[in-house]
Structure 1
Amino acid sequence: MAGTRFRQVTREALGNILREVKIAAKPTPKPEKWVFLVGCYNSGTTLLSELMGRHPSISALPTEGHFITDQFLKDYDLGIPRMWVDREDIFCLNENDEGPDVARIKKEWGMRLDLKKPVLVEKSPPNAARTRWFQKHFENAHFIGIVRNGYAVAEGISRKGDPKSIKDGWPIDKSAWQWARSNQIMLDDAQKLNNFHMIRYEDLASSPQDELNKIASFLGLEAFPDLSTQNFAIHERNDSVKDMNASSIKKLSEADIAQINETAGFMLDRLGYSRLPG
């Protein structure tokens, strides 16, 4: 038993050494633009990243960037999956914060990116609270914020609560607050960003080519190739781009809707989403 444990520790130590060697040898990415996709959980950041990664000038990380670096604490590790607003003191960073090791983050991300491409894309929902910090430390940083109907998002966050941490999912009021507060921080901080472009999930789902070409214009790139006939693997579902709001909202009870209105009504109003009766 002790021998097995020793071999396991030795393998882990060797793996850590090899990782450090790889990071040290990796060149620091120097793209024309760093692009950060930000928005609340369940708002379409994964879909948007997958779509943008089809552009010939763009390389997008294959998963959320905060999972690829050891410089950011993860919501899952803290027992608050999809609920970073419970610890704003940890997740929020601005230009006055020293924060983590910038060079290391770039190298860790660079190991998973095609550095021949001029535009490098990262997406992590908690980064909605770090845009001002990224603007200071990442050259020519551009930000694309995506928002989605709060009823659908709150339902999704509640339903997808990690059973290891949240046995029956998050209460709907907490999920609604995660949506409202994360968007509030993102939109307020966007006023201090040099390059910020906002889209709606609903517009992306209904007219993906048009929305992507607006993004291309924002980034100074040629138009996207025709993606109308392509399917995309999003959260284990391989399908064309579709608006999934109706199926999510259908799962909400009247009490759920009333709670969302009470908790997040101010953000529904700010973003122009009609309140449902409840």
Structure 2
Amino acid sequence: MAGTRFRSVTREALGNIFREVKIALTPMPKPEKWTFIVGCYNSGTTLLSELMGKHPSISALPTEGHFITDQFLKDYDLGIPRMWVDREDIFCLNENDPGPDVERIKKEWAMRLDLSKPVLVEKSPPNAARTRWFQKHFENAHFIGIVRNGYAVAEGISRKGDPKSIKEGWPIGKSAWQWARSNQVMLDDAEQLDKFHLVRYEDLATDPQTELDKIAAFLGLAGFPDLSTQSFAIHERKDSVKDMNQGSIDRLSAEDIKTINDTAGFMLDRLGYPRL
């Protein structure tokens, strides 16, 4: 037993050494643009990142950037999966906050990016609370915010939860507040960003080519290739791009809808989503 533990510790130590050497040898990325996809959980950030990664001038991280750096605390590790607003004191950063090690983050991400591409893309839902910090520390930072119908998002957050921490799923009221507050922080901070573009999930799902070409123009790139015949792997589901809102809304009870209206009605109104 002691020998097994020793071998396990040795492997872990060697893995850490190898990682540190790899980070040290990774060149500092110097793209023309850093681009951050931000938005609430379950709002289409993964879909948008995968779609954007199809552009020949873009390299997008294969997973959420906060998972592949040791510089940010993770919501899952804190026992609040998909619920960063429970600890805004940890997740919110602005240009006046010292924050983590910027160069280390860039190198950790660079190990998973094609540095020959002029536009590097990262997406992490908690980064909706860090846009002003990223603008200060990442050269020529561009931000693409994505919003989605709050009823569908709240249902998705509650249903998915996390079996290790939230076995019964989040209460619908907490999920609605996560959606409302996350968007409130993102939109309020966007007023202080130099380059911010807002996308609606519903528009992206209905006409992805048009929305992607708007993004290309925002980034100063040529239009996207034709993606109409392609399918995409989004959270283990391979499918064409389609609006998944109605299925989520149909799972809500009348009481759920009332709770969402009471908790997040102000953001439904702000974003122009009709109240049910």
TM-score band, normalised by shorter chain: over 0.9
How many residues were matched structurally?
276
Cα offset, 1:239, TM superposition? 0.6
The runs of 4+ residues in structure 1 deviating greater than 3 Å are: none
Aligned to 1:255: 255
Q: Give the distance between the partners of 1:167 and 1:116, measured in 2 at CA.
A: 43
Give, as a single letter, the amino acid of the residue that structure 1 aligns with 2:203. D
Percentage of identical aligned residues: 86
Q: Give the distance between the partners of 1:226 and 1:3, measured in 2 at CA.
A: 56
3-state DSSP class of the match of 1:145?
strand
Q: Give the distance between the partners of 1:141 and 1:62, measured in 2 at CA.
A: 19
3-state DSSP class of the match of 1:162?
coil
Alignment of 1:10-89 (within 5 A): 10-89=10-89
3-state DSSP class of the match of 2:66?
helix
Aligned to 2:184: 184
Residue-by-residue CA offset, 1:162-200 (whole Å, 9 max, x unaligned): 011001000000000000000000000000000000010
Give, as a single letter, the amino acid of the residue that structure 2 aligns with 1:32. E
Cα offset, 1:216, TM superposition? 0.2
Aligned to 2:4: 4
Aligned to 1:269: 269
Give the TM-score normalised by structure 2: 1.00
Q: Give the distance between the partners of 2:273 and 2:173, measured in 1 at CA.
A: 18
3-state DSSP class of the match of 2:17?
helix
Q: Give the distance between the partners of 1:99 and 1:73, measured in 2 at CA.
A: 12
3-state DSSP class of the match of 1:127?
helix
Give the TM-score normalised by structure 1: 0.99
Residue-by-residue CA offset, 1:32-72 (whole Å, 9 max, x unaligned): 00000000000000000000000000000000000000000
Give, as a single letter, the amino acid of the residue that structure 1 aligns with 2:267. M
Aligned to 2:90: 90
Alignment of 1:157-196 (within 5 A): 157-196=157-196
3-state DSSP class of the match of 2:34?
strand
3-state DSSP class of the match of 2:74?
coil
Give, as a single letter, the amino acid of the residue that structure 2 aligns with 1:30. K
Residue-by-residue CA offset, 1:190-218 (whole Å, 9 max, x unaligned): 00000000010000000000000000000
Residue-by-residue CA offset, 1:113-164 (whole Å, 9 max, x unaligned): 0000000000000000000000000000000000000000000000000011
Q: Give the distance between the partners of 1:110 and 1:62, measured in 2 at CA.
A: 12
Residue-by-residue CA offset, 1:78-106 (whole Å, 9 max, x unaligned): 00000000000000000000000000000
Give, as a single letter, the amino acid of the residue that structure 2 aligns with 1:153. V
Aligned to 1:106: 106
Q: Give the distance between the partners of 1:163 and 1:254, measured in 2 at CA.
A: 26
Structure 1 unmatched ranges of 5 or more = none
The reply to whether residue 126 of structure 1 matches residue 126 of structure 2 is yes
Cα offset, 1:109, TM superposition? 0.1
Q: Give the distance between the partners of 1:9 and 1:113, measured in 2 at CA.
A: 30
Q: Give the distance between the partners of 1:226 and 1:163, measured in 2 at CA.
A: 39
Q: Give the distance between the partners of 1:61 and 1:163, measured in 2 at CA.
A: 26
Structure 2 unmatched ranges of 5 or more = none
Q: Give the distance between the partners of 2:237 and 2:160, measured in 1 at CA.
A: 15
